Amino acid sequence: MAACSRGLAWPPFDLTTARGAALHRAAPRRRAAIRCCCAGADTEPRRRLSRAAAAAPERAEEWRVDGNKPSAAAPGRRRASLTAMPPLPFPAPRSRRQFKQQDYYPRCTQRGPAPQSRDTPPKRDTGIASEKEWGINLLDEAVKETGINEDGSTWYRESGEDLGENGFRCRWARMGGQSHDGSTEWKETWWEKSDWTGYKELGAEKSGKNAEGDSWWEKWKEVLYQDEWSNLARIERSAEKQAKSGAENAGWYEKWWEKYDAKGWTEKGAHKYGRLNEQSWWERWGEHYDGRGFVLKWTDKWAETDLGTKWGDKWEEKFFAGIGSRQGETWHVSPGGERWSRTWGEEHFGNGKVHKYGKSTTGESWDLVVDEETYYEAEPHYGWADVVGDSTQLLSIQPLERPPGVFPNIDFSSTPPPNKDDPPAMPPSTPLE
């Protein structure tokens, strides 16, 4: 039973009418439009700036090579940012709002009517959906049904329960269907898992394709467990999404993850990449809060064309108790191999003084100390209390009753277990200079 395996499956790509991503100023702008599986989504990425980026205009501009010296800090990054798209093929900013899927068809109920397709393609840059938005509803009894609709399309629905060692229990449900000629197809799987160690998991996966050859895949899950090393409760949420056009050389993939523990430790991140005809783009970002005041945030994004033009932008910030640093780079490489870059940095001393410095390959440079207030987010806007409040269905999963005298088998290895949520391999980006 695929839904009850403990591994993470690799997926297929929400392409809709898309605007062609424009090239760097040094290259001619292009516009390209495609029609694909999810009308209304935007395949052209947008730049996302942190407060750090907003504080240094020399790195926030639209890939200008004629920069100015840094100025005072301006209001910065918010996860709810809905800024307009500049002509750059970078994915849209992280959204603080949760993904809101389209209205679903009525749920299938036991011995009820045939299940209806919910094969709405995923949308780009929508983050991790909530439990309510997925609407997982598992049956209490095993079901296995198939049927044929009046238009000749077929459907199936089945549910069951798998048991394993250490009190492992997996309740699952699968449903799907296809048109009479097989040109369209949809599948959806729900599951919940538990065992005697306190592990709980709630998840869903769906995929589909249409007659035009467009295909998509999406997986979502949230997990509760007790960390073997800190002995603290942890909740992890993740989402993977992919869509691919059947008519154009276009598609995208995203992986989002969030991890929380009961003492405020938080980690969030995303890896994204996509292609629209002759242009490709990538983006990676991460946030880490140790729960004691230390914060690390970073972003790295880059793009290239088949003609050989490449450009990118990256930044990183580290802070603790009002003292920290920011640094970054904006760069561009022409088809002939000519490279331009601007690097910058900030040192925040915690006393109202900030050292700003930078240089570019065109000869500009600056090095000065200014009076400036230091601002950074010392705590995540969405933390442990929030994720617990939004995980009621996960927390309500009931494990099998443990017989008296039987105890869970916990494997305390000599080293921490590997991270199973590592994203797929990404092309290397240009390091900071």
Bigger pLDDT: 421 vs 169: 169
Enclosing domain of residue 369: 131-396
Q: Is residue 302 part of a domain?
A: yes
pLDDT recorded at residue 366: 97
Q: Is residue 419 part of a domain?
A: no
CA distance 37 to 234: 37
As given in the structure block, the two tokens for residue 74 are 């301006």
pLDDT recorded at residue 39: 37
Average pLDDT over residues 389-400: 96
For the chain, the average pLDDT equals: 76
User: pLDDT tens digits for 202-216?
Assistant: 999 999 999 999 999
CA distance 284 to 272: 6
CA distance 61 to 357: 17
Q: Is residue 417 part of a domain?
A: no
Residues 6+ apart with CB under 8 A from 9: 2, 205, 219
User: pLDDT tens digits for 354-382?
Assistant: 999 999 999 999 999 999 999 999 999 99
Q: Is residue 49 part of a domain?
A: no
Q: How many CA atoms lie within 13 A of 300 on its CB side?
A: 12
Residue 228: pLDDT band with limits 50, 70, 90: confident
Amino acid, single-letter form, for residue 175: M
Q: Is residue 69 part of a domain?
A: no
Instruction: Measure CA 269 to chain center.
Output: 7
CA distance 196 to 165: 9
Number of domains the chain is built from? 1
pLDDT recorded at residue 283: 97
User: Which of 82-91, 148-157, 310-319 is predicted most confidently?
Assistant: 310-319
CA distance 403 to 272: 46
Q: What is the largest CA-CA distance in the chain?
A: 76
Q: Is residue 342 part of a domain?
A: yes
Statement: residue 7 has pLDDT above 80: no
Q: Is residue 53 part of a domain?
A: no
pLDDT recorded at residue 50: 40
pLDDT recorded at residue 65: 31
Q: Is 4 helix (H, G, I), strand (E, B) or coil?
A: helix
pLDDT recorded at residue 296: 98
Average pLDDT over residues 395-409: 86
Nearest to residue 104, comparing CAs of 73, 67, 79, 129? 129
Residue 27: pLDDT band with limits 50, 70, 90: very low
pLDDT recorded at residue 229: 83
CA distance 279 to 57: 27
Q: Is residue 355 part of a domain?
A: yes
User: pLDDT tens digits for 71-117?
Assistant: 333 333 333 333 333 333 333 333 333 333 333 333 334 455 667 66
Percent of the chain with pLDDT over 70: 67
pLDDT recorded at residue 412: 56
Bigger pLDDT: 415 vs 165: 165
pLDDT recorded at residue 413: 55
User: pLDDT tens digits for 173-187?
Assistant: 999 999 999 999 999
CA distance 169 to 173: 14
Percent of the chain with pLDDT over 90: 61
Cα–Cα distances (Å) from 293 to 76, 296, 322, 387, in that order, read 20, 10, 9, 20
Cα–Cα distances (Å) from 389 to 200, 290, 393, in that order, read 16, 21, 10
Statement: residue 70 has pLDDT above 80: no
